[in-house]
Amino acid sequence: MCGPAGSGKSTYARMLEPAGYVVLSFDAEAWELGHRVHPLPADVMQTVHDRLQNRLTELVTRGDRVVVDTSFWSRISRERYRDILAPLGVTPTVYYLDTPRDVLLGRLRARSNAGPDDVHVPAEQALAYLDGFQKPSPDEGPLRIIRHEPDTLRLPG
């Protein structure tokens, strides 16, 4: 899953679970480690990614289908996961959630820090996330763009 905070990544990832996917969530992992404030320090981010990548490798090696729920905000962040999967013979498909900016900002304003999918993101930080986000492109590898109107997220038919 790829998209800025508030794009619907976690919702979409959970929709894939009934199809047999295991969801690995950056936010859930950080929450489990006790982190409630974003952005996370660089060392904590690395720890969370290390844990996700180790689990991803284990699951893929045993043949499970996996969806990684994190922003993948930069091309290099997506390449790092591709590099981990390549030796296993796996070419991941990036599902990019193309969500309108006003919808993202509204969702983030409504967050209350009640859980890992509800981490409060201050307005200034939300804008920085959006402005710094590098959209994936087809030259990176398989890409599915999921465009949706507010609150109408559906699996592609």
pLDDT means per 10 residues, the chain with 157 residues, are 95 94 97 92 96 98 98 97 98 96 93 93 92 97 85 56
Which residues are paired to 144 by β-bridges? Answer: 95
According to DSSP, the β-strands at 21-25 and 143-147 are unpaired
Output the pLDDT for position 38: 85
Output the pLDDT for position 71: 96
Cβ 45 vs Cβ 104: under 8 Å: no
Task: Give the three-class secondary structure for 22.
Answer: strand
Q: Would you give the DSSP letter of residue 141?
A: S
One-letter amino acid for residue 121 of the chain: V
Output the pLDDT for position 53: 98
The predicted model scores a pTM of: 0.90
Measured CA to CA, the distance from residue 22 to residue 61 in angstroms comes to: 13
Cβ 81 vs Cβ 87: under 8 Å: no
Domains in the chain, start-ordered, CATH in brackets?
9-147 (3.40.50.300)
Q: Tokens 């993202």 appear where?
A: 104
Name the token pair of 86.
């390549």
Output the pLDDT for position 149: 59
